[in-house]
Amino acid sequence: MPANTILMPMLALMLLTLAVWILLYVRRIAYMKANRIDAQRVSTPEKAAELIPEHVQNPAYNFKNLFELPVLFYGLCLYLYVTGSADAVYVIAGWAFVGLRAVHSLIQCTTNVVMHRFVIYMAGAAALWFMLLRAVLQAI
């Protein structure tokens, strides 16, 4: 397997982050225009939460979430690439993490059923923790 294969799920997660970022602004700007909300009135997240309904804000919350566990994923993928440690198991687990993050984003940006989102989040986290612990055990 080519060494750069582990970078493909990483790039896919970056594309997911871009898609959520676009959705965030499409929804927010459309709502603000339709409701004639001056941008200065939403100068902080707290002010935005007061003026913009949750279903419009959900992509913003998801965007923030894409900079939590995924940051570890990016670092781990780069580590695996640089050390030449990536194999099919890591790549499969990496794609599982990305796929589950995509489902998590879909849920949070649409229906936002918390228990559905939580189950998917935990499954994705398990894939990431598996990758990390495997890398640590292989390194020692």
**Distance of alpha carbon 113 from alpha carbon 126, whole angstroms:** 20
pLDDT tens figures, 28-86: 999 999 999 999 999 999 999 999 999 999 999 999 999 999 999 999 999 999 999 99
pTM: 0.95
Ordered domains of the chain (ranges, CATH): 3-139 (1.20.120.550)
* Packing angle of the helix pair 114-139, 69-83 (nearest 10 deg): 30
Instruction: Look up residue 66 and give its DSSP letter.
Output: T
CB distance 22 to 109 below 8 Å: no
